[in-house]
Amino acid sequence: MQFMNEIPKRSKNRSCLPNCAINFTNCRITIDCTDVFCAVPRQSMKNQRLTYSSYKHRNSFKGLVGVAPNGVLTYASMLYPGSISDKNIVKHCGILTQLESGDLILADKGFLISDIVPNGVSVNIPPFLSTPRFTAEQIQQTKSIARARIHVERAIRRIKGFKILSFIPEPLFDCSSIIFRTACALTNLQYPLIREVSQFYIDVDAPVV
């Protein structure tokens, strides 16, 4: 079952670009990964090791999500074992095949993926501190990126609000990716993350004409 796996073109994003993304008119998607805790696999030591997240100190699955500049959640990968790196998820989930020259990806510092994206695709992450303090330009750049990419974190909070994703028991392992993607899709039925783009949504309370 495949859904939540096609991202809109830049032209589509530009048609409803919010003010927070005005400096990133060529942004195709903002990405981040999230962990979903799971039961310890009982039958396989290998799977126990693969699902153990050294960062979370628990067994988990990990998925990549992406939002358009207007805050709509447009992409959700399948779930991977919790030990996998963010970079490897990006490399193997298939999202790179949809990107085109001129596209921009916004991401957090952990996404060092510039060497694996297609030619002509840019990756914009907050600058690393290589001097005693950030320059004024770096501070402004960090703030600008943060304003644009905070909405993927807000989308993840909504996804995690579904109780079924608080813990995946072993009997649900085989359908965990479908559960994850369904939760991601359902978040788009909630009120828009960015108020100024609500004008592009259908008012469900309005009378049907």
Residue linked to tokens 């993350």: 193
User: 155 lies in a domain?
Assistant: yes
How many domains does the structure of the chain reveal? 1
Task: Encode pLDDT of 74-108 as tens digits.
Answer: 999 999 999 999 999 999 999 999 999 999 999 98
Task: Encode pLDDT of 2-28 as tens digits.
Answer: 789 999 999 999 888 888 888 888 999
- CA 194 to each of CA 25, 35, 85, 161, 200: distance values in angstroms, whole numbers, following the listed order: 17, 24, 30, 18, 11
User: 161 lies in a domain?
Assistant: yes
Going by pLDDT thresholds of 50, 70 and 90, the confidence category of residue 199 is: low
Bridge partners, residue 32, by sequence: 65
- CA 195 to each of CA 70, 184, 189, 201: distance values in angstroms, whole numbers, following the listed order: 10, 19, 14, 10
User: 4 lies in a domain?
Assistant: no
User: 2 lies in a domain?
Assistant: no
Residue 204 has pLDDT above 90, yes or no: no
Residue 208's pLDDT is: 39
Residue 96's pLDDT is: 96
User: 154 lies in a domain?
Assistant: yes
User: 84 lies in a domain?
Assistant: yes
Task: Encode pLDDT of 28-68 as tens digits.
Answer: 999 999 999 999 999 899 999 999 999 899 999 999 999 99
Range of the domain at 62: 10-200
User: 206 lies in a domain?
Assistant: no
Q: What is the CATH number of the domain that holds 42?
A: 3.30.420
Residues 112-133, mean pLDDT to the nearest whole number = 82
Residues 163-182, mean pLDDT to the nearest whole number = 96
Q: Which residue has the higher pLDDT, 126 or 54?
A: 54
Residue 175 has pLDDT above 50, yes or no: yes
User: 209 lies in a domain?
Assistant: no
